[in-house]
């Protein structure tokens, strides 16, 4: 949060939304019990909220940072493309179990009460209707398509230009102090990924820095 405020003071406007804490916790629990991923509640909002704001203010272009699938391993469909469309979200990000499906499952599981899922309670997490996005001509592009994504160099840039402060100690499960500090769920998210896929947070960071030429393979193995 301090880094967010520092960025505002460095000359950037900011717009923050605080979702209903009770509903967010219930959504995270549903995602955890249903799909083993409590972090998905964050992902829904991360994907949908910028589109909601762009729609409200008639902004036709959204920029994200990196294409995580291309930079950290995943779907290769967009490796050589600058952007994706909301039509692909259901399959590529939510694996056939989109947001409304998760809410209905949470209701069946007794996590949500029927009174909680009415009156647009989850608009922060649900993208605008596709026809409205098309009408505005709205597109979301990845900055990493236009400039090589090197986390360490991004960190140095932010320190120099936005007053960014890293963790005082190394981040959970790895040796770096500056990446993926969004919330306290991050460490748990990476630990669950390690359990499911055998890919630890330190291994991911080391592999990226080996590819970037910042450390050798031997140094990466020593860090792990």
3-state secondary structure labels for all residues of 42-76: HHHHHHHHHHHHHHHHCCCEEEECCCHHHHHCCCC
d(C-alpha 201, C-alpha 173), whole Å: 6
151 contact partners, CB below 8 Å, separation of at least 6: 176, 178, 179, 205, 208
The band of 71, judged by pLDDT with boundaries at 50, 70 and 90, is confident
Give the Cα separation of 44 and 5 in Å (integer): 24
Give the span between the Cα atoms of 77 and 82, in whole angstroms. 11
Mean pLDDT of the region 173-185: 87
31 falls in which pLDDT band (50, 70, 90)? very high
Distances (CA, A) of 81 to 94, 142, 155: 20, 9, 25
User: How far apart (Å, rounded) are the C-alpha atoms in residues 88 and 20?
Assistant: 27
Mean pLDDT of 37-52: 89
8 A C-beta contact, residue 203 and residue 221: no
pLDDT of 90 reads 66
pLDDT at 93: 65
| pLDDT value of position 166 | 93
Question: Is residue 88 predicted with pLDDT exceeding 70?
Answer: yes
User: Any idea which residue has 């272009």 for tokens?
Assistant: 61
For residue 184, what pLDDT is reported? 81
Q: What is the pLDDT of residue 113?
A: 93
- Tell me: pLDDT of 92 over 80: no
**pLDDT confidence of residue 221:** 96
Q: What's the token pair of residue 144?
A: 């990493």
Q: What is the pLDDT, as a whole number, of residue 210?
A: 95
pLDDT at 16 over 90: no
Are 93 and 43 in contact by the 8 Å Cβ rule? The answer is yes
CA distances from 178 to 12, 43, 107, 164, 219 (A): 20, 20, 38, 9, 19
């Amino acid at each position: 949060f301090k880094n967010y405020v520092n960025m505002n003071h460095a000359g950037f406007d900011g717009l923050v939304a605080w979702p209903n804490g009770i509903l967010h916790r219930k959504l995270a629990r549903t995602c955890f019990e249903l799909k083993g991923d409590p972090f998905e509640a964050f992902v829904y909002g991360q994907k949908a909220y910028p589109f909601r704001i762009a729609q409200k203010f008639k902004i036709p272009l959204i920029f994200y940072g990196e294409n995580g699938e291309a930079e950290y391993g995943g779907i290769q469909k967009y490796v050589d493309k600058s952007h994706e469309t909301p039509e692909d979200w259901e399959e590529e990000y939510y694996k056939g179990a989109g947001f409304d499906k998760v809410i209905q499952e949470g209701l069946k599981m007794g996590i949500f009460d029927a009174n909680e899922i009415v009156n647009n309670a989850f608009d922060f997490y649900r993208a605008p209707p596709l026809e409205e996005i098309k009408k505005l001509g709205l597109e979301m592009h990845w900055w990493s398509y236009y400039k090589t994504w090197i986390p360490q160099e991004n960190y140095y840039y932010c320190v120099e230009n936005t007053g960014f402060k890293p963790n005082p100690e190394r981040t959970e499960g790895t040796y770096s102090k500056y990446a993926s500090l969004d919330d306290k769920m991050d460490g748990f998210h990476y630990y669950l990924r390690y359990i499911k896929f055998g890919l630890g947070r330190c291994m991911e960071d080391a592999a990226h820095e080996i590819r970037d030429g910042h450390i050798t393979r031997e140094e990466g193995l020593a860090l792990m």
